[in-house]
């Protein structure tokens, strides 16, 4: 049985390890424990983890809400437990949270080359918006 629950500070090392193994990390800034701990402290419900009975973190999804926009980040499922519906469970959980907070639209950050991720988003009713381009500037 895999349980979904909010991440806690003690989960941060396991999250960073999961993201190295399971997430697409191209074109991303380096993750740090301090930044993840700050997220958890600011919004304790934002990062959901999937945890096995023995306490192993095998999945994650961050559902960010700023009071106006809803964003999904860091959907990751460990390769050992893929194809069991865990990504859909994480997504359903996050969507329920965001709708309860007032979201009318949810967007997801998905790398162009992440075919596995793109198939999940498409099968869940998300559509790519070709007319938008993301602009970034590292500041820290």
pLDDT band (50, 70, 90) for residue 127: confident
Whole-number average pLDDT of the chain = 90
% of the chain exceeding 90 in pLDDT: 68
Overall average pLDDT of the 56-60 stretch: 97
What is the per-residue DSSP string for the chain? -EEEEE--GGGHHHHHHHHHHHS--TT-PPP-HHHHHHHHHH-TTSEEEEEETT--EEEEEEEEE-SS-EEEEEEEE-GGGTTSSHHHHHHHHHHHHHHHHT-S-EEE---TT-HHHHHHHHHTT----TT---------
Residue 22 has pLDDT above 70, yes or no: yes
Domain 2-123 CATH class label: alpha beta
pLDDT in tens, 72-118: 999 999 999 999 999 999 999 999 999 999 999 999 887 777 777 77
pLDDT at 134: 75
pLDDT at 140: 65
pLDDT band (50, 70, 90) for residue 24: low
Overall average pLDDT of the 59-64 stretch: 96
Global confidence as pTM: 0.89
Residue 138 has pLDDT above 80, yes or no: no
pLDDT at 74: 92
């Amino acid at each position: 049985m895999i349980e979904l629950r909010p991440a806690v500070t003690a989960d941060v090392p396991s999250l960073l390890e999961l993201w190295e193994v399971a997430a697409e990390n191209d074109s991303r800034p380096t993750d740090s424990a301090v930044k993840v701990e700050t997220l958890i402290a600011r919004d304790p419900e934002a990062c959901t983890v999937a945890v096995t009975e023995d306490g192993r973190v095998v999945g994650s999804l961050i559902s960010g809400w700023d009071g106006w926009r809803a964003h999904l980040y860091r959907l990751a499922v460990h390769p050992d437990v893929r194809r069991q519906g865990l990504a859909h469970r994480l997504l359903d959980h996050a969507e329920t949270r965001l709708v309860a907070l007032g979201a009318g639209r949810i967007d997801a950050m998905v790398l162009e080359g992440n075919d596995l991720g793109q198939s999940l988003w498409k099968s869940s009713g998300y559509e790519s918006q070709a007319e938008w381009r993301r602009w970034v500037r590292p500041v820290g």
